[in-house]
Amino acid sequence: MKIVVEYPRGSIRSGYDRKGIQWHKEMAHDYGYISGYRSDDDEDLDVYVGPYLYSDAIFVVNQLDPHTGEFDEYKVMIGFRTIEEAEAGYRAHYPSYWIGFGSIRFIEYSKFKTWLEER
């Protein structure tokens, strides 16, 4: 599995929201995508990489569209030891009022490739 880091920890990621308002955020963790896999939004499958690279735990966030409450896309969390660390790692990249967090689940490393292929 090849991970491409687009925004290293400490870099600034920025863009515009649906209302055209610019936002920017310092990255608390490396952020990029898993090469060769697409997400449900037809873009690369996003991944956050935490500090514990030897952790064999993988967590997947079901992100919601904050305007509709419907499923939007997955965010994969690698390099976190617990579900609490992974959720905190995800939330560190969003404002406190963010309502796009739907749920998070653990996937065993040995089953992750199957999840990637079958989702």
Tens-place pLDDT, residues 58-102: 999 999 999 999 999 999 999 999 999 999 999 999 989 999 999
**Alpha carbons within 13 A on the beta-carbon side of 66:** 10
- Percent of the chain with pLDDT strictly greater than 90: 83
pTM flag (> 0.85): yes
Q: What is the pLDDT of residue 1?
A: 85
Number of H helices, E strands in the chain: 2, 8
What is the total count of domains within the chain? 1
pLDDT at position 41 over 90: no
Question: In the beta sheet, which residues pair with residue 44?
Answer: 38
Range(s) of the domain holding residue 103: 3-118
What is the dihedral angle through the alpha carbons of 78, 80, 81, 86, rounded to the nearest 10 degrees? -110
The DSSP 8-state label assigned to residue 111 in this structure reads H
